[in-house]
A and B are shown apart, each in its own frame.
Chain A
C-alpha cells in the first residue's frame, strides 16, 4: 500500500469544481510535484492534504490512517509556504523550535534539534536573528527547517521558491532536493514552474482544470506527453495541424509536405485533422539521414537564447516551426528569408489526442 493515498478527491467551491476525480498514490520517501497553470487545483489539493480545506468527496490516507477529517494540527504534516510565514515576533531558533514546544518536548531536546537543523540549512550561529534580518532565501530555509523540526510524515511545499530571484531559486531547489534525499521524507511540491518540477521530482502530476492530465517521471512527462495540454504546458513545443494521409502507415501531411509518425495513427481516418507535437530540440537544420522527416520553408526569425539558437521556419502560407540548435561559434546560420530544409526522426513526431487548430492557422505553440 502506498504511503500517501488520495482517492476520488473532489473539491467544490459553489458551482466550481476546483479539484475533480483526483487519485494519486505516493510511495514513502518519494518526491512528487503538482505542476499546472494558476487555478488548476494544485494548491487546493495540497491544502486538502494539509487539512486547511475539506474535500467535498474522497479520502486522504497517510501511512494507512485515514486523515480526511482530522484538523490540520493533528495531522503531523509539515508545510512550507510561498510567503515563508515565519513568525515575526520570534527569532530563528524560536521559529524552528515552535512545533517542538507545541509537542511539549524537553528544552534540551529542542535546543539540540534546532542546532541540528540550523546546521542542515547552513545557518549555524544565526538562531538569535529575527526573520526581518534575513534574506528571502534564508527565510525560506528557516521555514523549511521549522517544518522539518517536528519530523512530519509528509512534507508539503506550496510554491516555496516563487518569491525568490532566479539565482537563489536554482540554488535553493538543489538544497531542498538534497535535504529531502538526506532525510528520505515523503514530499509533495506544488509549482507552476516546469523546470522546477522536472528537475526536482521523482514523479510529476500535471494538472489542468482540477483534473490530472498525466502522472509520470519527468522524462515521461517531457518526452511522452499523454495529452495535448501536457505537451503544450511542459517545455517548448511546435503544435502542427496535420492531415492524416494513411493512418496504418502513420503518414501525415503538413501544409502539403508529407511526414511520417513512428507508429500507426490509432482511431484516425484518412483526411482527418490531428495534432502533431514536435520538440524544437528534436529538429535539425540539415537534410538528415535516410528515412528522416523533412520540412522546407523560409527562415523567418533567428533568436539567440544563450546556449542555444532558435530558428523559426515558415511552412506554406501560415504555420511556423521552431527548432533549437546549440550556439556553436562555428555555426553558420542561414539569413532570414532563405529557404532551408529541416529534418527530424519519425519518433520525434507525437500524434496527440485532438487537433490543435485548423490547417492554415498558425499552430506553432510555445509553452
Chain B
C-alpha cells in the first residue's frame, strides 16, 4: 500500500514538474533552431546593449518597488492586526484592487492626473520613474500584503509588542527590531513575487515610455522570430539569480515560532 501511495505521489509530482518544465524546454528548443549557428539568437541578444539596460532598469525599479511596498505594507498590516483587527477584511479588499482594475486603467489614470497642474510628473524622466514605481507598488499590494499578513499570523504580534513595550521600547524599535526580522521569510517571498511581476510588466512601462524590460521584449517579438525565446529564458534565469541573491542576503532567518508549552 505504502509503495503504491508513494508511486502516486511521484506521478503527481512528475505531472506538476512537467507543467512547469515542458514549456521551458519547448522555448529552449525553439530558440536554438537557428542554422547553422544554433546559439545565434543568444549571441545576438547578449550583444544588444538594450537587453542589459532594460533588464537592469527593471531590476532597479523592482528593488525600489519592494522597498516602498514594504515600508507601506508592513506597518499597515502590523497596525491593523494589533489595533484594528476588524478592519482587516477592508484592508484585504483594498489590496486586492489591482486584480480588479487592469493596469491599463491604472496607467491612464496616472497619466491623466500627473500630466497637468498642480503636479506634473510625466514631463520628466525622474517624474515618470516615480510614477512607474508608484504604479508597481500598487500592483505589488495583493502579493506583499498576503505574504506579510501570513507572516504576522505566524507570530504572536500582540504579546511580542507588549513584551517589548514593557521593556521600554517605542514603536519604531518594535517594528524595526522585532517585526521586520521576524517576518524575514514572508518578506522574501513577497519580494520574490513583486520582482517577478515588475521584471515582466509591459503595459504601464510602455505607456509611461520607460526603457523597461517588458516593452523591450515586446518590441523584439515583433521583429525577430527566435530572439524573444532566448530573451525569455535568459531573463528567467537572471530573475532566479536575483531572487537567489535576495534570499542569500536575507539568510540567517533562525527564527522559529514555537507555541507555548509545545516543547
A: residues with CB less than 8 A from B are 50-52, 71-79, 81-89, 98-99, 102-103, 130-132, 134-136, 139, 143, 146-147, 149-150, 156, 163-165
Which residues from chain A contact B163 at a C-beta distance below 8 Å?
A: 79, 81, 85-87, 143, 146
Chain B window 225-263, contacts with chain A (Cβ cutoff 8 Å), 1 for yes, 0 for no? 000000000000000000000000000001111111111
- Chain A's closest residue to B256 (CB) is A132
Q: CA A149 – CA B160 in complex, angstroms?
A: 17
Which residues from chain A contact B166 at a C-beta distance below 8 Å?
A: 50, 72-73, 75, 77-79, 147, 156
- Chain A's closest residue to B154 (CB) is A88
* Chain B CB within 10 A, most for which of A83, A99, A131, A164: A83
Which residues from chain A contact B156 at a C-beta distance below 8 Å?
A: 83, 85
B261–A85 contact, CB under 8 A?
no
A136–B160 contact, CB under 8 A?
no
- Chain B's closest residue to A168 (CB) is B261
B159–A81 contact, CB under 8 A?
yes
Q: Assess A102 versus B182: contact at CB under 8 Å? Given A83-B159, A89-B254.
A: no
- Chain A's closest residue to B184 (CB) is A89
Min CB distance, A328 to chain B, in Å?
A: 37
A89–B181 contact, CB under 8 A?
yes
Which residues from chain B contact A50 at a C-beta distance below 8 Å?
A: 162, 166
Q: CA A71 – CA B156 in complex, angstroms?
A: 21
Q: Which of B168, B256, B262 contacts A150 (CB 8 A)?
A: B168
Q: CA A263 – CA B135 in complex, angstroms?
A: 83
CB of B165 within 8 Å of the partner chain: yes
Which residues from chain A contact B262 at a C-beta distance below 8 Å?
A: 136
B34-63 residues with Cβ-Cβ distance < 8 A to A are none
A89–B178 contact, CB under 8 A?
yes
- Chain A's closest residue to B178 (CB) is A87
B254–A102 contact, CB under 8 A?
no
- Chain A's closest residue to B163 (CB) is A85
Q: Would you list the 9 A-B pairs with minimal beta carbon distance, nearest first?
A: A99-B167, A163-B261, A163-B260, A85-B163, A89-B181, A83-B260, A79-B166, A132-B256, A88-B255
CB of B112 within 8 Å of the partner chain: no
A85–B159 contact, CB under 8 A?
yes
A72–B254 contact, CB under 8 A?
no
CB of B106 within 8 Å of the partner chain: no
B167–A89 contact, CB under 8 A?
no
Q: Assess A73 versus B165: contact at CB under 8 Å? Given A82-B260, A83-B260.
A: yes
CB of B173 within 8 Å of the partner chain: yes
- Chain B's closest residue to A47 (CB) is B162
B168–A136 contact, CB under 8 A?
no
Q: CA A86 – CA B258 in complex, angstroms?
A: 10
- Chain B's closest residue to A72 (CB) is B165
Which residues from chain A contact B255 at a C-beta distance below 8 Å?
A: 88-89, 130, 132
Min CB distance, A46 to chain B, in Å?
A: 11
> Could you list 17 further interchain pairs (A-B, Cβ under 8 angstroms) beyond the known A73-B169, A136-B261?
A50-B162, A52-B162, A72-B165, A79-B166, A81-B159, A81-B163, A82-B260, A85-B160, A85-B162, A98-B167, A102-B167, A102-B168, A132-B258, A134-B263, A136-B260, A149-B167, A156-B166
CB of B196 within 8 Å of the partner chain: no
Which residues from chain A contact B173 at a C-beta distance below 8 Å?
A: 102
Q: CA A300 – CA B106 in complex, angstroms?
A: 80
Q: CA A82 – CA B260 in complex, angstroms?
A: 8
CB of B14 within 8 Å of the partner chain: no
Min CB distance, B220 to chain A, in Å?
A: 45
CB of B170 within 8 Å of the partner chain: yes
CB of B134 within 8 Å of the partner chain: no
B109-159 residues with Cβ-Cβ distance < 8 A to A are 155-156, 159
Q: CA A99 – CA B165 in complex, angstroms?
A: 9
Q: CA A79 – CA B168 in complex, angstroms?
A: 11
Q: CA A334 – CA B169 in complex, angstroms?
A: 64
Min CB distance, B34 to chain A, in Å?
A: 51
Q: Which of A51, A88, A165 contacts B257 (CB 8 A)?
A: A88
Q: CA A136 – CA B182 in complex, angstroms?
A: 20
CB of B164 within 8 Å of the partner chain: yes
* Chain A CB within 10 A, most for which of B156, B166, B173, B255: B166
A98–B260 contact, CB under 8 A?
no
Min CB distance, B184 to chain A, in Å?
A: 8
Q: CA A84 – CA B263 in complex, angstroms?
A: 12
- Chain B's closest residue to A103 (CB) is B168
Which residues from chain A contact B164 at a C-beta distance below 8 Å?
A: 87, 98
26 contacts between A and B (CB under 8 A): A50-B166, A73-B165, A73-B168, A74-B168, A79-B162, A84-B260, A86-B163, A87-B164, A87-B178, A87-B182, A88-B255, A88-B256, A88-B258, A89-B181, A89-B255, A98-B164, A99-B168, A102-B167, A103-B168, A132-B256, A132-B258, A136-B261, A136-B262, A139-B263, A143-B163, A150-B167
- Chain A's closest residue to B254 (CB) is A130
Chain B window 167-191, contacts with chain A (Cβ cutoff 8 Å), 1 for yes, 0 for no? 1111001000010011010000000
Q: CA A72 – CA B263 in complex, angstroms?
A: 30
Which residues from chain B contact A165 at a C-beta distance below 8 Å?
A: 261
